[in-house]
Structures are given as structure tokens and as C-alpha cells.
Amino acid sequence: MNTPWRPLRVLIADSSALARRLARQQIDADERLEVVSVVPSLGQLRDAMVTSGPDLILVEEEIGGHSGIALIRQLMTTSPIPSVLLSGSVDADLRRRAARAGIVGVVEKPASLNRQDAFWERLRQTLRSAARAHIPRLPPSGQAPRVIGIAISTGGPPVVRYILSELPATLPPIVIVQHMRDAFIGQFAEQLDRVTPIRVVVAEHRQVLRPGWCYIAPGGHQTRVNADGNTLRTCLGPPQPVSGHLPSGDALLYSIAYSVGGASAGAVLTGIGLDGAAGLLAMRRAGAQTLAQDKATSTVFGMPRVAAEYGAAARVVSLTDVPGALKSTALVR
């Protein structure tokens, strides 16, 4: 069976408004690529990584007086991601510095971006190649998770009920994206709250995440996790589908990867399609503990299969082993 396909998600950081506009147009012209965010500064790039969950970063060499190479070098120590550098002048020294920072492609930008078909095709090809580059994963952080993120779809409600009923109220906060009609999510959370030792609620905007609580993503928003100093909060974003879903497991897991890094755990469980797999891969690259449900116990072995094929899941376990696997993460030091 072939792995489901989706375009590669590209984040563009460039100080030139014209360059940003043309880059979006030219990259979106390739059905294999999709621009998910365009930002004019490195500060905004950090925020966009959390909110847009890119597979690739295209960054200008110098943006707003700051070094794009230095930023990518820093990102590679916490949230490894394939990156391509744009520069008006490319030489051997620049390529060496970029490679040492973990950048996998360097493209020289012409003085004028208009009527530059060869340049744009070279850039698109470099982006596609960068996505296939080997990006070293950070080793498991060895830290107990501050938050656990779960993506689940078809066959999910009884699975979620079973897992939560087997978990102690001393566990770190859990945030779940369950693909379900919005009208049923409140009732689902109430039922879980009555029968499990964990407090279960529908997530609200900017809620502080508490140990022993589980937050179910509401419909009509993307639910993400943001770090506010030492405090983790939910963030309900605009109604823009990610990986074809609203809410999306990818949106949640990407946000955990970029906000919390290795001090987290993630799981992709039964469901159709591929939602959650790319986000779980970002978590694993950041040093988080990750798992997927096995074929034998999945109602539909779609999402967890893709997670396993992406190399996103460090472990593939049966449903009966999921609670124990999540509990064991809390014991890691």
C-alpha cells in the first residue's frame, strides 16, 4: 500500500515584500510544494514555526540585520528541520558555513527576481531535494514530558476512553485532537470526565495546562500548545485546515515540537489518512518520546502506519500497551 501523499509545507522568511510575494507565487505553482507562512523577520519565523508547522524553511542569508545562518544553527539544536538559504552572493565559504549550520541547500538569488524562470525552477528543485535530506534526530532528551500530545481519528472514542481510564491523575497534561463533529465534542469530553481518573475538558483559548488534566481540541479551531515562560498554554488559532483537518493532529504536534521540544511525548493512534504523522516526526526530531498504535489493534491503520513509515514513531505498540508506554515517559529523568 502506498503512503498517502501531501505537498511539502514551506515557510518563507525574507525581508523583501516583493521577494516574499514572488516566492509564494512561484513555489505554490509546484503542486508538490505549499507555502504555509511568509514572514519578514527572524522573530516572526520562530512564531510561524509553531503556528504553521512547516516541513521546510526557506530563509534569506541576512534578514533585518540578523543572520539567517545563525538562526538555523540554533534551530537545529532544538527543532531540526530541512532548510534552504537564499543569498545574493554565493561562494565556497558561504556554502561551508551554511553546511556547518545544518542548512541542506544554498541558492544564489539574482538581482532581479522578475522573468527568472531558471532561478525559480532551480529553487523549487532545491526545496524538493532538501525535503529528502537526512536530518539527524536529536537523541531522546531524557526529560520527563511537560505535555503529551495525541492525534486520533476513526475508531478513536473507545480508544481514548480506554487509555485515559488506565492513566493516573499524576501524569503531565494531555492534549488530544480527535477528528469528530464539533457538536459531539463537548459530550465526548463530559463522558470521559465521568469515567476516568483524569479531569477532561474541551480546550479553551490560553488555558494553563495542568498535570492530571486532559484537553480535547474543539471544532472550528486549530488547537496548539504555546510556551509562556515556564507555563504551557493552549492556543486556539484561526479556522484554517492543516493536513486537510480542523482541528488537526499535525497542527497540535508541530506546536509541541517547536514550543516544548524534547520535554514532551506524542502518539498517533487509529485513524484514516496521514494527519499527525509529520507533526510526530517533528517531535521525534526534537528529542521527544513518540509512539504509534499497531495494525492489529487499530480500527483503521492509516495515520499510525504513515507515522511509522515516516520514522516518526520510536515505538509501535498495541492498544493495551499504550497506557503503560505513556506512564513510562513520566518516569524518564
Cα dist from 133 to 49, 84, 154, 265, whole Å: 19, 11, 32, 25
Alpha-carbon dihedral angle through residues 269, 278, 234, 20, given to the nearest 10 degrees:
-160
Catalytic-residue membership of 275: yes
- DSSP assignment of 155-210 equals THHHHHHHHHHTS-TTSPPEEEEE---HHHHHHHHHHHHHHSSSEEEE--TTPBP-
Backbone angles phi and psi of 177, in degrees to 5: -105, 110
Contact 273, 264 (CB under 8 A): no
Choose the catalytic residue: 30, 55, 250, 275. 275
The three-state secondary structure class of 273 is coil
Catalytic-residue membership of 221: no
Backbone angles phi and psi of 180, in degrees to 5: -165, 150
Choose the catalytic residue: 14, 52, 55, 179. 179
Which residue in 277, 286, 266 sits closest to 307, CA to CA?
Answer: 277
Catalytic-residue membership of 179: yes
CA distance 250 to 280: 7
Choose the catalytic residue: 37, 79, 87, 153. 153
CA distance 293 to 315: 9
The catalytic site residues sit at 153, 179, 275
